[in-house]
Amino acid sequence: MSNDNANMDIILEDLSSRFILNLPDNELSSVERVCFQVEQAHWYYEDFIRQENPTLPSMVLRSFSAKLFAACPLLQRWSHRHEEAFNDFVKYKTSVPVCGAILLNSTWDKCVLVKGWKSNAPWGFPRGKINENEPLVKCAAREVLEETGYNCEEQIIPEAFITSTSKEQHVTLFVVPDVPEDYNFVTRTRKEISKIEWFYLGHLSGFSEEDDTHEPIRTWGVSPFLAQLKHQSNGTRLEQLDAAEPRPLVLRLQLSKPR
C-alpha cells in the first residue's frame, strides 16, 4: 500500500469517528440523513485537512462519499449501492425545506444578496436548511447570521414572510426592513459565501420589467419573491391576490411600507 493510500485510510477513519460513529440510531437508519453528515465530513476534508496537506486530492462530494461509504463500517451496508444512495440523497436534499430572510434598507429600495463561493455562482437571499424541530424564525436568524454576520432575530416579525415552492423544495423568507446600509457584513461560513452586497430592487429581475439599463445580475431563487414583494409595495392586498388567482407563493406580510 502506498503512503498516499495509507494516509487516506487514516483520514477516512478519523472522519468516520468525527461525523458518523456517534450518530443516534434514528439518524443512522436513513441513508439520506446520513449523507448530510457525509457532506459535513467532505467540507471538513476540503476546508481543513487539505489546507494542512495540499498534496491530498480534491474530491467532489460523489467521489468522496464513495470512499467514506467503503471505509466506514456503519456505512458499508450501503456501499454496494452507493450511486443509488447518493442520487436519493441529492433528491432528498433538494426537497428539504429551507428558510432565510430578505434584508431591506429603511426605504425599501435595496436588498442584501449573497454570492456563492465559486466564481460562476449566482446571487441569492441568505437562507439554509431547517434543522429538525427548529422554529422558522430561529432558522432564518441563524442562517442570516452564518452567511452575513448580521443578527436579525430581534427584527423578524413572525407573520411577515413570503413562501415559495420550487421543484418540491419549500422556501420561507422573512421580510426584514430597516437594516443599516453601512453595516459591515462578514460571513461566518468557510468557502460558502464569496460576496455580500446591497442591490437596488429595481435592478433585479422580477421586480422591475422596465429597467433594462443595467447589466443583468445572475440570481437564483430571487425573482418569485421580488414579484410578491412588489405587489405588497404597490399596496396590493393579500385577499386581492388570492381572489384573482391561486398562487404557489403565499404572502403573509403585515408591514407598512415607509411613506
Domains belonging to the chain, first-starting first, are 3-93 (1.10.10.1050), 98-252 (3.90.79.10)
Residues 6 or more apart in contact with residue 102 via CB below 8 angstroms: 111, 125, 162, 173, 174, 175, 176, 225, 229
Cross-strand bridge partners of residue 250: 163
pTM above 0.85, yes or no: no
Cross-strand bridge partners of residue 173: 100, 162
Q: How many CA atoms lie within 13 A of 110 on its CB side?
A: 13
Contact criterion met (CB below 8 Å) for 19 and 71: no
Longest dimension (CA), the chain: 72
pLDDT of 28 = 83
Strand pairing class (98-103; 169-176): parallel
Residue type at position 176: V
C-alpha cell at 29: 437508519
C-alpha angle 61/48/10, rounded to 5°? 75
Q: What is the pLDDT along the chain (259 residues), one digit of tens a residue?
A: 344 555 888 999 999 999 999 888 888 888 888 888 999 999 899 888 988 888 899 999 999 999 999 999 888 888 888 888 888 888 888 888 999 999 999 988 899 999 988 888 899 999 999 988 899 999 999 999 999 999 999 999 988 889 888 777 889 999 999 999 999 999 999 888 999 999 998 888 655 555 455 566 778 888 888 877 776 655 433 333 333 333 333 344 444 444 4
φ and ψ of 242, to 5 deg: -65, -40
Contact criterion met (CB below 8 Å) for 135 and 172: no
